[in-house]
Amino acid sequence: MARYVANRLAQAIMLLVIVSAIGFAILHLAPGGPLSQFAVSGQMTQEDLDRVTRQLGLDRPLPVQYLDWFGRMLRGDWGKSYRDGEPVLSVISSHLGATLELMATATIVAVLLGCWIGILGALRRYSLFDTLATVGAMVALSIPTFWFGLVTIYIFSVKLGWLPAGNRQTVGDGSFLDLLHHLIAPAMVLALVETAMWGRFMRSSMLEVINQDYIRTARAKGMPEWRILTVHALRNALLPMITVGGLQFPTLLGGALVAETVFTWPGMGRLFLDSIGYRDYPVVMGILMFSATMVLIGSLLADILYAVVDPRIRVG
């Protein structure tokens, strides 16, 4: 088991280095740069631009810039924002809570609702409920998140006036009920696709389990149906969902970026887009590395947990 964890950890670190190198190269080779907005405005002379370029170290070769940035990152110095001079870690931490709040709420809703739909669909295969759930999942997976977000705002905010159109809280309020009121719409939009995915995966996993020989044997012995479903079927059907949960994290992050943009939610997704617009390379790279690390940790924990709970897996 220790060797398995060590191998997976080494693979994750190598992948993280590759992601950082590719992301750094794409950002710095893209047209424009952190000083392009000053050059366009004409408020700075060419001498001023050259001086700031040297101060930021942007005049050095790209490999040298990357190695310097990577070395400082390993020491805990992720640089400072070009936009306001704040440390990158402080900028990210100030927006992290809003993103985690949105993602956690959407995940809880998606897992509970999706698993319930999947289990019921598997037990009532080809019924009206199963057909409607299948059609609904296909529609949900086909709808772009930003479109569903705009429709949600139009119906529930503009027409009905039930939910706020954006932001995390009302200015001057900030109570729990106010925060919850603002959270409903973006969490519902973000949970839509996740619910469809969890429902489809759970239905397939449950169908595979309930057709196994040990389930038929349990029924032949006269075991109560509820015990067969909860103790034997559901327990084994949930095993593959551990891996699914780890693989869903990148999709959840991407959906959070879109949902935060549509609802002006002050999270990391919104910060990422704003930082790209300002060519704020340190913040963009910080968010990229933080997100990549979280994805790799989620995948690693899912693999380890699956190896622990499933005795059929043999690891050295």
Residues 300 and 12 sit within 8 Å (Cβ to Cβ): yes
Q: How many CB atoms lie within 10 A of CB 287?
A: 24
Q: Tell me if residue 85 falls in helix, strand or coil.
A: coil
Tell me the CB-side half-sphere exposure of residue 136, using CA atoms within 13 A. Answer: 16
Tokens of 273: 């887009």
The pLDDT of residue 316 is 47
Query: 3-class DSSP state for residue 296?
Result: helix
Question: 272 near 264, Cβ under 8 Å?
Answer: no
Interacting residues of 227 by C-beta distance below 8 A, sequence separation 6+: none
* pLDDT more than 90, % of the chain: 10
Which tens digits make up the pLDDT trace of 80-97? 888 888 899 999 998 988
The residues, any chain, with a CB within 8 Å of residue 85's CB and separated by 6 or more, are none
Per-residue pLDDT tens for 157-200?
898 888 888 888 887 777 888 888 889 999 999 888 889 888 98
Model pLDDT for residues 217-262, shown as the tens digit of each residue? 888 888 888 788 877 788 778 777 777 776 677 777 778 888 888 8
Q: Where are the alpha helices (DSSP H) in 124-212?
A: 128-142, 145-152, 176-210
Tens digits of residue pLDDT in 9-42: 888 889 889 999 998 888 888 777 666 666 655 5
Q: Give dist(CA 296, CA 273) in Å, integer.
A: 22
Distance CA 30, CA 25 (A): 8
Integer Cα distance of 259 and 142 in angstroms: 16
With beta carbons less than 8 A apart as the criterion, state whether 205 and 272 touch.
Answer: no
Token reading at 53: 């370029």
Phi first, then psi, for residue 205 (nearest 5°) are: -65, -40
Residue indicated by tokens 């640089």: 79
Q: Which residue has the tokens 């690891």?
A: 315
Give the phi and the psi of residue 230 in degrees, each rounded to 5.
-80, -45
Helices and strands (DSSP H and E) totals, the chain: 14, 0
User: What is the gyration radius of the CA atoms in the chain, in angstroms?
Assistant: 24
